[in-house]
């Protein structure tokens, strides 16, 4: 990134009283709000832990939350916005991605033994962002008050101190204990960190705000800090979750497939990744989507998806332990449609080999044997933004690829997509594999349902009587839908934030007029 600004950008740090209190959403909202105020704003998270990732135009991997924040800020994605990404592949280990490229796997004990070198890399990324923008909004990770981790934690106060960034604390009242969250956080952190905190935001409030005035007064008096916003819980806005399946998705619902609907099931793997692939389908009013973890009969589902996985062989073992393989075989035997995305595609083949232990112990695992393909995991990760055509209907598809596996088809096995572009460069390559009747297929394209043309064609295959909602959100591309969500989010937060006070804290000169 070229430097064209002499004075480094101001920084504002948004730290949390715990995990999943809404830091990512707050930063996303602030990015769109400051962008609306004509401020050149960029997001930054020194280290993210997530299996939900995205690919930049330069073929670098970064956390999906920071990708959403960058789009909300209306700036081009760059790996400097998330210089360190940890992708958990076991309960205690993760792949370490530095500046968009994997540098190996690490156990938690080894990783946290020495984080100084990663801290230096994160600082360099931050300085590059500050040279290009007016304001950098820095997101913390987890709780900023994990006292046992403070010497090695470079995502929260340590990086805020380097940037001389004022800190805003975010607490989640919906989970309860908001007084303890805020007061307790301030009590246990060192005094120099405490003095950096300039205010707090209370997130996910339900009910009559007037009834909580005494609560706000207590917190302001007890902490000596201003309340910057009491943000009501919302249900009308959809923002990509940083990690894990979104809170509003019901896993293993008691009800089964619904008559008159297109019923789709997605298996909820223990190491599921990039579940956002299915969001455009889930929003269609003609579709009922169930995430399934516990085995059940699959009769009545128009299609079943095997999603991405950060540990494909381990999730294959889980499939067999839970007898999902038997149920999938029976479903396919009844002419069911089974589709694999990335790791799910690999599972559909005959075998997955991991000679170098990229996702665990070296070895190989038999696949489900439903596609005549074989996969070998390599050290080099395939990262690209990809464009192609769906060979069956010649529909244009766009997506992104994140995989360490190379999958080879046997002779005569149909491919799925003719790839015409990868990371901005023209190619003529083939992706995916299918059975001859097209009922079982797999692809490496994440985000394949983002374009409405292919989405409609796919749903018509499942139900020839499908009629898309021509004037609704399902008729637009996913990028346009998401941009509308950022506008809705910004409007929601503007209504309840003390924006003038927040702008003063940020140190950025701008008007609150929109």
Same domain, 66 and 159: yes
Q: What is the pLDDT of residue 1?
A: 45
Q: What is the pLDDT of residue 379?
A: 87
Indicate the pLDDT class of residue 513, thresholds 50, 70 and 90.
low
Give the integer Cα–Cα distance in Å for 284 and 474. Answer: 6
Residue 392 clears pLDDT 90, i.e. is over it: no
Q: Which of 92-96, 210-214, 386-390, 409-413 has the lowest mean pLDDT?
A: 92-96
Say which CATH number the domain at 485 has. Answer: 3.40.50.300
Residue 2 clears pLDDT 50, i.e. is over it: no
Sign of CA dihedral 73, 79, 81, 82: positive
Same domain, 404 and 436: yes
Cα 371 to Cα 70, 230, 347, 412, 462, distances in angstroms: 38, 52, 9, 11, 20
Indicate the pLDDT class of residue 187, thresholds 50, 70 and 90.
very high
Looking at 99-244, which runs of residues are DSSP E strands?
Answer: 101-107, 135-139, 167-172, 197-205, 227-232
Same domain, 267 and 406: yes
Percent of the chain with pLDDT over 70: 95
Same domain, 422 and 466: yes
Give the integer Cα–Cα distance in Å for 18 and 198. Answer: 18
Q: What is the pLDDT of residue 250?
A: 72
Segment 15-55, tens digit of pLDDT:
999 999 999 999 999 999 999 999 999 999 999 998 889 99
254 in a structural domain:
no
Same domain, 468 and 492: no
Phi–psi pair at 197, nearest 5 degrees = -75, 130
Segment 466-505, tens digit of pLDDT:
988 765 667 788 999 999 999 999 999 999 999 999 999 9
Q: Which residues, listed in sequence order, are joined to residue 293 by a DSSP beta bridge? A: none
Q: What is the pLDDT of residue 3?
A: 46
DSSP secondary structure of 420-455: EEETTEEEEEEE-EE-TTSSEEEES-BTTT-SHHHH
440 in a structural domain:
yes
* Global pTM value: 0.90
Q: What is the pLDDT of residue 510?
A: 85
Phi–psi pair at 411, nearest 5 degrees = -60, 135
Q: What is the pLDDT of residue 366?
A: 97
Q: What is the pLDDT of residue 94?
A: 86
Give the integer Cα–Cα distance in Å for 79 and 97. Answer: 10
Same domain, 68 and 157: yes
501 in a structural domain:
yes
| Per-residue H/E/C for 169-203 | EEEECCCCCHHHHHHHHHHHCCHHHHCCEEEEEEE
Count of structural domains, the chain: 2
Residue 359 clears pLDDT 90, i.e. is over it: no
Same domain, 31 and 172: yes
89 in a structural domain:
no
Q: What is the pLDDT of residue 51?
A: 87
Q: Of 142, 133, 143, which Cα lies nearest the Cα of 12?
A: 133
Say which CATH number the domain at 394 has. Answer: 3.40.50.880
Indicate the pLDDT class of residue 245, thresholds 50, 70 and 90.
low
Q: Which of 132-141, 307-316, 367-376, 472-481 has the lowest mean pLDDT?
A: 472-481
Coil, strand or helix: which one is 162? helix
Same domain, 219 and 290: no
Residue 64 clears pLDDT 60, i.e. is over it: yes
Give the integer Cα–Cα distance in Å for 106 and 196. Answer: 32
Q: What is the pLDDT of residue 114?
A: 78
Give the integer Cα–Cα distance in Å for 375 and 351. Answer: 6
Same domain, 218 and 179: yes
Same domain, 287 and 189: no
Please compute the mean of the pLDDT values over residues 164-183 and round it to a whole number.
97
Question: Which tokens sit at 314?
Answer: 């381990």
Range of the structural domain that residue 434 is part of? 262-475
151 in a structural domain:
yes
Question: Which tokens sit at 32?
Answer: 């769109």
Q: Which residues are catalytic?
A: 342, 446
What does the mean pLDDT of the chain come to?
93
Same domain, 286 and 201: no
Q: Which of 13-27, 176-190, 237-251 has the lowest mean pLDDT?
A: 237-251
């Amino acid at each position: 990134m070229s430097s064209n600004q002499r004075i480094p950008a101001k920084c504002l740090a948004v730290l949390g009283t715990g995990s999943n209190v809404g830091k990512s959403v707050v930063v996303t909202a602030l990015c769109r709000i400051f962008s609306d105020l004509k401020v050149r704003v960029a997001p930054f998270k020194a280290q993210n832990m997530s299996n939900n990732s995205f690919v930049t135009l330069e073929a670098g991997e970064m956390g999906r939350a920071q990708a959403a924040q960058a789009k909300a800020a209306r700036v081009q994605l760059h790996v400097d916005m998330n210089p360190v990404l940890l992708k958990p592949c076991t309960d205690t280990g993760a792949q370490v991605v530095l500046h968009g490229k994997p540098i190996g796997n690490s156990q938690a004990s080894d990783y946290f033994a020495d984080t100084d070198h990663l801290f230096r890399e994160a600082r360099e990324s931050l300085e590059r962002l500050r040279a290009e923008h007016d304001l950098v909004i820095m997101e913390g990770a987890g709780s900023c008050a994990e006292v046992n981790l403070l010497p090695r934690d470079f995502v929260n106060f340590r990086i805020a101190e380097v940037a001389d960034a004022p800190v805003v604390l975010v607490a989640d009242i919906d989970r309860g204990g908001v007084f303890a969250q805020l007061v307790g956080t301030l009590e246990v952190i060192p005094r120099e960190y405490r003095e950096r905190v300039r205010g707090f935001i209370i997130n996910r409030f339900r009910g009559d705000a007037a009834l909580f005035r005494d609560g706000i007064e207590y917190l302001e008096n007890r902490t000596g800090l201003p309340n910057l916003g009491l943000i009501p819980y919302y249900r009308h806005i959809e923002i990509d979750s940083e990690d894990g399946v979104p809170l509003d998705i019901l896993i293993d619902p008691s009800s089964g497939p619904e008559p008159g609907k297109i019923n789709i099931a997605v298996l909820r793997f223990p190491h599921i990744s990039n579940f956002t692939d299915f969001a455009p389908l889930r929003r269609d009013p003609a579709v009922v989507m169930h995430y399934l973890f516990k085995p059940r009969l699959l009769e009545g589902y128009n299609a079943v998806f095997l999603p991405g996985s950060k540990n494909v062989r381990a999730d294959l073992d889980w499939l067999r332990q839970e007898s999902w393989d038997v149920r999938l075989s029976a479903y396919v035997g009844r002419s069911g449609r089974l589709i694999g995305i990335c790791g799910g595609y690999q599972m559909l083949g005959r075998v997955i080999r991991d000679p170098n232990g990229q996702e665990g112990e070296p070895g190989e695992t038999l696949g489900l044997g439903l596609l005549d393909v074989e996969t070998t995991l390599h050290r080099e990760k395939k990262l690209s933004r990809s464009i192609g055509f769906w060979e069956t209907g010649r529909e244009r598809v766009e997506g992104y690829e994140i995989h360490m596996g190379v999958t080879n088809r046997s002779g005569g096995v149909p491919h799925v997509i003719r790839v015409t572009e990868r990371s901005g460069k023209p190619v003529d390559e083939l992706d995916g594999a299918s059975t001859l009747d097209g009922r079982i297929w797999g692809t490496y394209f994440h985000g394949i349902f983002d374009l409405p043309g292919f989405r409609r064609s796919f749903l018509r295959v499942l139900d020839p009587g499908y009629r898309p909602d021509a004037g609704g959100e399902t008729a637009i591309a996913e990028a346009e839908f998401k941009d509308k969500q950022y506008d809705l989010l910004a409007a929601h937060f503007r209504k309840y934030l003390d924006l003038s006070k927040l702008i003063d804290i940020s140190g950025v000169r701008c008007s609150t007029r929109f």
